[in-house]
Structure 1
Amino acid sequence: MSLGSQLTTAVPALAAGVLALGSAVYTVRLTTRTNKDVEVLKAKLVQEAAIAEARRNLEYQARAKIYAESEPLVLKLAESADYAASRIVGLSDPRRWPALQATVDSSSSWMLSRSSEVIATAHALLEPLALLILLREKTNFVELAFERRLSEIYALARGAYNAHLDDYAIAEIPPAKTYDPVVPGWRQKRVENPATYWWQGITRGRLDPAIEVCINREANRAATVDEFESRYLDLFNRPDDSRHKSLGLFCNPIYNFRPEDRPIFWRILLCQLLIYRRISKRSRVPGEVAMSAALDFDHKDIDQLRRSNAIGDELFESSISAAVDYTNRILVRNE
């Protein structure tokens, strides 16, 4: 066979061999890469499964803690909210107002009355806030993320707390009320024009110590009415105790209360009435069941608020409107 013929035969064979070798190398590399990809995928799946399992365990532990520690507080908060709401509605009855009158000169004391009606009203308004503090101490944001119902109840209770601090903002809700309690000569001015110059909110630095008076730390629960009354009367006689001023400032808008003389505080109370009625309802509805985002008054509460005809139409309507406006704002803010 000639050299040319041999080359003609060898070249295709060599090319075929090279192609076969290349194909084999590619196959090996592809197989290696595929195996690596499979291993990476397996590792990723194992990691994701571990994360999912850890999340399930975390959720289980969170829910177990919620049911063991927080749920009893939610039940108590719902009961307390119902009672506070009923006391707020009751304040529209002018027959209650004389018992709220100050009996002590405001220039010599921050606590202005020993009346049982003042004490009962203060306890009713402080107890839900005390339960909020206790609830906050037993839960965290991770646990709240797993329990929609608890998260909503917590946000609502926090809204009731903040309402006491938002007196200026609540006064500005249309129709805005003239409100200027921090002015020179306020002691005299608030006697002459209490609706404008009587302080109807409180600062956080005074609110928190007042709430503490309504907490029994030894028993880790809200103070009973009797316990609170005993503490109130004790502090009434101890003007040098810082809690005397804090509790007196919390009760400040309750002393001499009439809605016309405390229009901003009346708005705050109606905000809390809306919030407390929703807390009561939400506590009885499973977490997976969504409720209307908007808060509105129960017609039974409106009927009872109107029953005495002691609140003028303009004040009544503007207060109702402001309360709905404020509470729906804070709900949106907390979403």
Structure 2
Amino acid sequence: MLTRIRIGRHERGLLHTNEDFERVLEPGVHWIWGFDARVTTVSLRDELEVTLEGLSAYLADEGFRQHVIVADLADDERALVWVDGRVHGLLGPGKTAFWKGLHEVRLEVFAAKELRFSHPYLDRILAVDAAGLLHAVEVPANHRGLLYVDNVLREELSPGRYAFWRGVSRLEVRVLDLRETALEVNGQEILTADKVSLRINLSASYQVSDPRRAAERTSNLASALYRELQLALRSAVGLRQLDDLLADKDSIARDVRASVAKRAEDLGVRWGALGVRDIILPGDMKALLNSVIEAEKRAKANLIARREETAATRSLLNTAKLIESSPTLLRLKELESAERIAASIDTIRVTGNGLDGLIDQLLPRT
């Protein structure tokens, strides 16, 4: 039986006889002889990657290989596929074939054993990595990344975007913030040396100075620093009496800073600001202290008043001594007193002995 087959411009035909692949039919008209012949048509518009079952059998045919581009990747190799000058995707180990003819296909092969993948078009490549062959890591500004390969520190990563091949080694990236970080130790119920219960709030800030120590010495840096501050604060307050605490609150911060300095260095951080924000007294103790303060202020006010009275009395005594020794000054004081009295009287009539008599009447002499 003779069969006419037409293959379009952007098509390829696969001729099978008795289910065995014979050859590729290129565009044009073909006459096929035989009852057991079968032709499968592939559209290059719809299919770029060869998806035939049993691809290895087809690739064994030299004529078939002339129509495809083959990527045969070892276990430690990966390939970047470019189609018409654009990033198309990534390939893992194994055999993959792409049809020639309609598109320009180019393969860029990489050694995955190098682990870190660098490329000028990294962002585009990550966007089309549908197979998840790459592990992307973002290290923000003011951060530092630590790359561990098989639990061994391999490299410190500066801010930027990185990609690493998956499935090669055990990979872990720890990202640490290098900016100053606030740490609050709030609501600490502590007994002073004189058995007064206080609630104290402490504020502190720290900054990572050694990323490797900060990552390896503790699994939770903030929690470790909080615990150190908490213990140091309890020790500093427990050794002081209430009056000493209230008189010099900054001494607590100094003692706490000294206590935690060595531990902070071991953890790869340095302290910034550190101080006691609040000292909260119980209600009854607060009322008692308020009454003590009120009594102290009242005593100071009374002392000042007594000092003023003593000064006024001393001034009057000195004035009296001057008047006693100076008749002229006495006369002036009499006139000043008469003036003040006259200022409160509407009408004054002077008779008899004149002004002197009036003054004698207003200010009789003993």
* TM-score of the two chains, using structure 2 as the length reference: 0.25
Greater RCO (Cα-Cα under 8 Å, separation 6 or more): 1
* TM-score of the two chains, using structure 1 as the length reference: 0.26
Per residue, is there more helix in 1 or in 2?
Answer: 1
